[in-house]
Amino acid sequence: MAKLQGFEFWKKTLKEACFVVAPMVDQSELAWRLLSRRHGAQLCYTPMFHAQVFVRDANYRRDNLYNEVCEEDRPLITQFCANDPEVFVQAALLAQDYCDAIDLNLGCPQMIAKRGHYGAFLQDEWGLLEKMVRLASEKLSVPITCKIRVFKEMEKTVRYAQMLEKAGCQLLTVHGRTKEQKGAMTGVASWEHIRAVRQAVNIPVFANGNIQHLSDVTRCLQETGVQGVMSAEGNLHNPALFEGRSPPVWEMAEEYLEVVRKHPPCSLSYVRAHLFKLWHHTLQIHQDLREDLAKVKTLDGLADVSKQLKQRCQEEIASGADAEKSGDLPFPHWICQPYVRPLPKEPLANGDSQASEAKKTLCQKRALEDSDETLSKNKQKKRSRNPNKNFSPEQKPKYVKCEQCGNPKGNKCVFGLCRSCCKKKAFKEVADCASHGLRFKTKA
């Protein structure tokens, strides 16, 4: 059977999906995807997977994708970050039987992506990206898609999108922010850039950015002409966003915990992170329960803290506080609603800005820290505690790599491996490793 392409792929395989849940690291796992689908999401992405680790580690493949196969969880797109065409294709080949398409992440702006040389930090290497997309398009039995960020220059963004389309990309998601727009400098996404891309390419386009309510989805579709709208943070704070509802937080929290129990295993850290997002506004008020939510180590413990938050909210409602709004929030704090990031500081009259001043101070601090002659206050404190402390990067000890995976090996490991690899080898050979505290032989 011939591989579907472009609009035919969107119509037949993705069933004309319009409401899309974004790929989110450690946040768009199976349980959350199923919850989102119950409440209007028509297409979901897996969390971003690291292609090199996916190829190398069978446990990583099993825990993150293979164990999450579910008939209800389709259509589904698997996303990878990568910077090597061969490695990317190898990872995609291992994943293609478990999803409907493979997505290349070209939009992650975080520092870890800069260090790993992937995501939005590849957007100037058009030759490499063209090769990656083209090779994947030729080798895979499912379509290849891409998620990108925009350039400041609209013309360059359009040429970027056209290059990816020509290389073989069958669907493009455009996040209307540049790679510099993150954290405190996030700001507003440019739908004008998204509209320009949509008009310039002949493949389906999804828009990402500024989506907090269903009305934003409708407006985005009208203003940009895209085929679908993707939500990340809006979905995390209100998984019923695509239904146009703002339910009580406890309703979504209880339903999510029910799905988690029905589809184990789910990492406790993922569940905790979702509850923190859902209860975000309430935890600003009941800060004692914020500590409890951070400390509990079981699913039942997390559910118990959620019940306590529900009880306190219902007590507020019973006392007549339900008619009151919480600070600047449009609804009471126990209603699912987005967290609105403050806009970046406006430039001051002298042409400077608070943000640039902060950045300037930070650069000066880093320059001071990197200086051989002058140490920062923090390093001076460390030097006072340990006069022999070494701060020179050149003289820092070089870690010896594990023979199997490349992570730092244990200094006294009997096998010369990191703890994870040592544990597997010691278990297989029924051996001890005093360095890592493993006692398989002793116990046997």
Taking residues 303-330, what's their average pLDDT? 84
Q: Residue 366 — pLDDT band, cuts 50, 70, 90?
A: very low
User: Which pLDDT belongs to residue 36?
Assistant: 98
Taking residues 263-290, what's their average pLDDT? 94
| More reliable by pLDDT, 396 or 17 | 17
**Can you state the angle between helices 249-262 and 268-278, rounded to 10 degrees?**
170
Q: Residue 397 — pLDDT band, cuts 50, 70, 90?
A: low
Q: Taking the chain, what is the end-to-end CA distance rounded to the nearest angstrom? A: 54
Q: Tens of pLDDT along 292-312?
A: 999 999 999 999 999 999 999
User: Which pLDDT belongs to residue 100?
Assistant: 97
The three-state secondary structure class of 439 is strand
The DSSP secondary-structure symbol of 401 reads B
Beta bridge partners of 144: 102
Length of the chain: 444
Element spanning 148, H or E: strand 144-149
User: Which pLDDT belongs to residue 10?
Assistant: 98
How many angstroms separate the Cα of 358 from the Cα of each of 38, 376, 429? 44, 17, 56
Torsion angle of C-alpha atoms 197, 198, 204, 209, degrees rounded to 10: 80
Q: Residue 152 — pLDDT band, cuts 50, 70, 90?
A: very high
User: Which pLDDT belongs to residue 327?
Assistant: 64
The pLDDT of residue 65 is above 90: yes
Q: Residue 361 — pLDDT band, cuts 50, 70, 90?
A: very low
Taking residues 64-80, what's their average pLDDT? 95
Omega before residue 75 within 30° of 0, cis:
yes
What is the distance between the alpha carbons of residues 272 and 331, in angstroms, rounded to a whole number? 24
| More reliable by pLDDT, 390 or 133 | 133
Report CA torsion sign: 357, 362, 368, 371.
negative
Cβ atoms of residues 118 and 81 within 8 Å: yes
145-154, 324-333, 335-344, 418-427: which range is least confident on average? 324-333
Structure tokens at 104: 């290349």
Q: Tens of pLDDT along 249-267?
A: 999 999 999 999 999 889 9
Cβ atoms of residues 108 and 232 within 8 Å: no
The percentage of the chain sitting over the pLDDT mark of 90, rounded to a whole number, equals 70
Residues 6+ apart with CB under 8 A from 17: 10, 42, 43, 75, 228
The pLDDT of residue 371 is above 70: no
| More reliable by pLDDT, 179 or 382 | 179
What does DSSP say about strands 76-81 and 101-106: parallel, antiparallel, or unpaired?
parallel
Element spanning 329, H or E: none
User: Which pLDDT belongs to residue 296?
Assistant: 94
User: Which pLDDT belongs to residue 388?
Assistant: 75
Q: What is the mean pLDDT of the chain?
A: 89
The three-state secondary structure class of 293 is helix
User: Which pLDDT belongs to residue 156?
Assistant: 97
Beta bridge partners of 174: 148, 207
User: Which pLDDT belongs to residue 368?
Assistant: 40
User: Which pLDDT belongs to residue 440?
Assistant: 87
Taking residues 366-389, what's their average pLDDT? 64
Phi, psi of 129 (to 5 degrees): -65, -40
The pLDDT of residue 373 is above 50: no
Q: Residue 340 — pLDDT band, cuts 50, 70, 90?
A: confident
The three-state secondary structure class of 340 is coil
The domain 6-245 is placed in CATH, from the list 3.50.50.60, 3.40.50.300, 2.40.10.120, 3.20.20.70, at: 3.20.20.70
What is the distance between the alpha carbons of residues 110 and 120, in angstroms, rounded to a whole number? 9
Taking the CB of residue 316, how many other CB atoms lie within 10 A of it?
Answer: 18
Q: Residue 380 — pLDDT band, cuts 50, 70, 90?
A: confident
Smallest CA-to-CA distance from 171 within 101, 255, 244, 91 is with 101
The pLDDT of residue 364 is above 70: no
User: Which pLDDT belongs to residue 395?
Assistant: 63
Q: Tens of pLDDT along 87-117?
A: 999 999 999 999 999 999 999 999 999 999 9
The pLDDT of residue 350 is above 70: no
Beta bridge partners of 230: 20, 208
Residue 268, Cβ density class (10 Å: 0-12 exposed, 13-18 middle, ≥19 buried): middle
Q: Residue 346 — pLDDT band, cuts 50, 70, 90?
A: low
Active-site residue set: 108
What is the distance between the alpha carbons of residues 191 and 210, in angstroms, rounded to a whole number? 9
